[in-house]
Amino acid sequence: MNSNSVVRRSAAVLALSCVSAMWMQPAAAVEPLDTFSVRVGSFANRFNTTVRVDGELSDGTTIDLGNDLGLDNDNTIGLIGLTWRPFDHHEFGFAYYRDDVSGEKTLTRDIVFDDVTYEANARIGAERKFDIYELSYIWWAADHEKWAMGPRLGVVWYKTTLGIDLQVDANGNAAGASFDRSVSGDLPAPAIGGGWRYTPSENWRLSADVGFFKANINDVDANVTYGRFGVEWYPWEHFGFWSDITANKVSAELKKNSFNGDMDFRQEGIRIGATYRF
């Protein structure tokens, strides 16, 4: 069973729990911060990505994964996440989702990928995989009755795999596996910024997180900009619904044995789901 199936089933179970809870749990005023929460939902996700994969003998071509390789930038995926505040002013967060896209394309120009040249008019198959882990820590320096604010340290960790398979060469001949290439690598995208929570009324909560970072970490030289704004509604004390918009812009140079080159992408989208909290 793949990760998206697990998330979808978890979402269904949580949604049924919410319906059952409407007769058991009266609505109560929502505080700015939870002690614990778990969320499941769906992410209408967009990846606009360009990448250059160098080989041992030559530099690669800068490739737009959508225009050049036929990989759809838009995808709807499942996600699961949780937060835990074991102490009054300290909160930890985690989320996981996976973006997996494949496609086919007749090339309109020559491209070089990991020392292999794929000529214009060749037919190729391509695949992009991102396993994405979001980790965060917030120190709630200011915690009041209706709002909270504090510095935030977060990282979005991308485990990336990108592959190209030559199906038919530029002369119309079937190609062998010697032209197939696949690279993989880890891309950490840390961001230092702040978090904010606000309860404008007893059943509603607004939230925002922002961050920026520029550094060389573990053979990855990256510029990262991160932002998120969310709305939560709790018709019952412990169960409710949430939605947010999120964006992460990463420009990175990777120097690894399995992935040597550049990757620039902008990940953005709308997320919506159900949550259990206390």
Q: Could you tell me which of 126, 138, 132, 147 has the C-alpha nearest to residue 78?
A: 132
pTM for the complete prediction? 0.85
pLDDT value of position 24? 47
Range(s) of the domain holding residue 94: 3-277
pLDDT recorded at residue 13 = 43
How many independent structural domains does the chain possess?
A: 1
- Per-residue pLDDT of 199-237, as tens digits, reads 999 999 999 999 999 988 767 889 999 999 999 999 999
d(CA 244, CA 126): 31
pLDDT recorded at residue 82: 98
Token code pair at residue 48: 């606009």
Q: Which residue in this structure is represented by tokens 């932002």?
A: 227
Can you name the residues that pair with 79 across neighbouring β-strands?
41, 97
Query: Where residue 28 falls among pLDDT bands split at 50, 70, 90?
Result: low
CATH, residue 134: 2.40.128
The predicted-structure confidence for 35-50, as pLDDT tens digits, reads as follows 999 999 999 999 999 9
E strand or H helix at 244, and its extent?
A: strand 239-255
**What are the DSSP E strand ranges found in 30-146?**
36-53, 63-64, 74-87, 90-106, 111-113, 116-118, 123-139, 142-143
Rounded distance between C-alpha atoms, residue 98 and residue 1, angstroms: 13
